[in-house]
Amino acid sequence: MSERRLSESGFPIKPTYGPADAPDGLPERLGEPGRFPYTRGVYPTMYTSRPWTMRQYAGFGTATESNARYHQLLRAGTMGLSVAFDLPTQMGYDSDDPIAHGEVGKVGVAIDSIEDMRLLFDGIPLDQVSTSMTINAPGSVLLLLYQLVAEEAGVLGSALKGTIQNDILKEYIARGTYIFPPKPSLRLVADTFGYCRTEVPKWNTISISGYHMAEAGASPVQEIAFTLANGLDYVRAALAAGLAVDDFAPRLSFFFVARTTLLEEVAKFRAARRIWARLMRDEFGAKDPKSWMLRFHTQTAGVQLTAQQPEVNLVRVAVQGLGAVLGGTQSLHTNSFDEAIALPTEKAARLALRTQQVLAYETDLTATVDPFAGSYVVEAMTDEIESGVLALMDRVFEYGSSVDAIEAGFQKREIETSAYRIAQEIDSGERVVVGVNRFTVDEEEPYEPLRVDPTIEAAQAERLAKLRASRDASAVERALADLRAAASGTENVLPPMKEALRARATIGEVCGTLRQVWGTYRPTDRF
């Protein structure tokens, strides 16, 4: 083991911290919970009045199967749904498209049209449940399908609460489920902001995500710096589209990881809030305090789960969840212990939810706000992370904007360097992974994973054939023509998109229409 322990972001961790390590003017820098700069949390009472929203990320196979899992989670006490979509849906392809072969229903639920969306939320009170949807390039399409299904149930858009991830920039950096080039993609994001302001005003129109960059190997400093830099590009895109900052900024939200390095993760969340509050107030002139608040969802670190001795993941997830709560998250998803092997079983998903419930109801975490306030080590780490984040954001903007840096491959290179360092440390044993490079067992206990029915793809194709045969084909063509005209011009594309989906156009047809106008993104050789 090294004589000097470094944080995940590369800062030395001292064996002892004391008053000399506390930042100058600490009380003034900290402020109060629920007040600028929000270091201590975005709400004055935080969890003392109500716990964070407990979500469980779920979705697999058919809409009917996923619907059954959602009902099970709601019965178990989850407070919000979080929808996982399969890769064809995330990429804007129908289940019967040749490119979708072998991926239908595998990593999430297959959604092709409004008919699937009806099945997905059958029997779920959409005016009472908050729904998060992890969908990016076609995020606006899935939101409109959700709104249409709600309207059919008599629920107005003004009553809907939830989030679409809708963060396309991190797809170019770390995840890869992009469709269109950056500029039209940013336009689609801005159109979604404008549409939701009047049609779905309580909806969080974007969840600006550092999670996937962290899963690709980004350090905490990189995760926050690249996420906030992307956030600034979204703000500028909305302003360029004619929106006023206080009209959309209160509905921005963020999505971060929680690793097992608890102290640094708590400091990371505190630093992120402080930086965002100052940027929104001082750089963009936002007047509404809600525009200054960095509200975020957290998911425990999937990349840190191990297939070896998978039950140990229960401990990892508990520690990670604890860090998210101590850091002041607004909602939390705790991973199931078996996710390094396959899709989580019902029992594993329930145990993951129970982990949050133990934190909320059996500990004293909810008795006081920001229990780490004034901690010498956490406050020192918060300052170190803040300085590192601001310096790295400056490097991003040396390229001009986050999009310019993406096109130059900057963020991707930085993350890959960090990921390579982590892999080397694990291989050498310098970084201990329990059950993998230390404390191993000679033979693993057998485990029966959840398996997706391989006939789903054929069943979805049959449903699509019936849909196309029974709908008004001319109405679909007219609606798609209206969408094509809007995409070719400057009007908001969401209203004609909604009408196309109402006419039972498929996700593949809607995204295909936009591809015809905007093209598809191809990474450059610089990546």
pLDDT one-digit tens code per residue, 9-36 = 999 999 999 989 888 877 777 889 999 9
Domain membership of residue 192 (yes or no) is: yes
CA–CA separation, 452 and 414 (whole Å): 36
Low-confidence ranges of the chain (pLDDT < 50): 1-2, 526-527
Domain membership of residue 301 (yes or no) is: yes
CA–CA separation, 407 and 401 (whole Å): 10
Range of 128's domain?
A: 19-35+46-393+400-428
Q: Which two tokens stand for residue 219?
A: 């350090």
Q: What is the dihedral of CA 123, 466, 148, 166, to 10 degrees?
A: 100
Domain membership of residue 250 (yes or no) is: yes
CA 74 to chain centre: 21
What is the model's pLDDT at position 31? 86
Task: Label residues 399-416 b or e (16+ Cβ within 10 Å = b).
Answer: bebbbebbbbbbbbebbb
Residue whose token pair is 């960059």: 213
- Angstrom CA distances, 79 to 51, 75, 211, 395, 520, stand at 10, 10, 21, 40, 37
Residue 485 one-letter amino acid:
A
State the sign of the Cα–Cα–Cα–Cα dihedral 12, 18, 22, 28: positive
Q: Which residues contact 292 (CB under 8 A, 6 or more apart)?
A: 36, 37, 38, 276, 277, 280, 281, 286
Domain membership of residue 239 (yes or no) is: yes
What is the model's pLDDT at position 525? 55
CA–CA separation, 387 and 221 (whole Å): 9
CA–CA separation, 441 and 309 (whole Å): 8
Cβ atoms within 10 Å of 438's Cβ, excluding its own: 9
Contact 90, 367 (CB under 8 A): no
Domain membership of residue 379 (yes or no) is: yes
What is the model's pLDDT at position 2? 45
CA–CA separation, 87 and 115 (whole Å): 19
Q: Which two tokens stand for residue 377?
A: 């080590």
Q: Which two tokens stand for residue 51?
A: 């716990």
Q: What phi, psi does 343 have (nearest 5°)?
A: -60, 145
Write down how long the chain is. 527
Q: What phi, psi does 482 have (nearest 5°)?
A: -65, -40
Q: Which residues contact 298 (CB under 8 A, 6 or more apart)?
A: 255, 256, 257, 258, 324, 327, 329, 331, 332, 333
What is the model's pLDDT at position 129? 93
Q: What is the pTM of this model?
A: 0.93
What is the model's pLDDT at position 317? 98
CA–CA separation, 58 and 91 (whole Å): 18
- Angstrom CA distances, 296 to 51, 219, 309, stand at 14, 18, 31
What is the model's pLDDT at position 3? 61
Please work out, in degrees rounded to the nearest 5, the angle formed at the alpha carbon of residue 191 by the alpha carbons of 189 and 196: 95
pLDDT single digits (tens) 435-468: 999 999 998 888 787 777 889 999 999 999 999 9
Q: How many domains does the chain have?
A: 1
Q: Which two tokens stand for residue 356?
A: 């949050």
Residue whose token pair is 């809007």: 486
What's the maximum distance between 2 C-alpha atoms anywhere in the chain?
A: 74
Which of 356, 311, 357 lies closest to 333 in space, CA to CA? 356
End-to-end, the C-alpha distance of the chain in Å comes to 35
Burial (CB count <10 Å: 0-12, 13-18, 19+), residue 181: middle
The CATH number of the domain where 300 resides is what? 3.20.20.240
Domain membership of residue 452 (yes or no) is: no
Burial (CB count <10 Å: 0-12, 13-18, 19+), residue 394: exposed
Q: Which residues contact 261 (CB under 8 A, 6 or more apart)?
A: 7, 8, 220, 323
Domain membership of residue 466 (yes or no) is: no
Q: What phi, psi does 219 have (nearest 5°)?
A: -75, 170
Cβ atoms within 10 Å of 204's Cβ, excluding its own: 23
Burial (CB count <10 Å: 0-12, 13-18, 19+), residue 471: middle
Domain membership of residue 218 (yes or no) is: yes
Contact 399, 408 (CB under 8 A): yes
Q: What phi, psi does 252 have (nearest 5°)?
A: -75, 140
Q: What is the dihedral of CA 40, 41, 45, 50, to 10 degrees?
A: -140
CA–CA separation, 466 and 94 (whole Å): 14
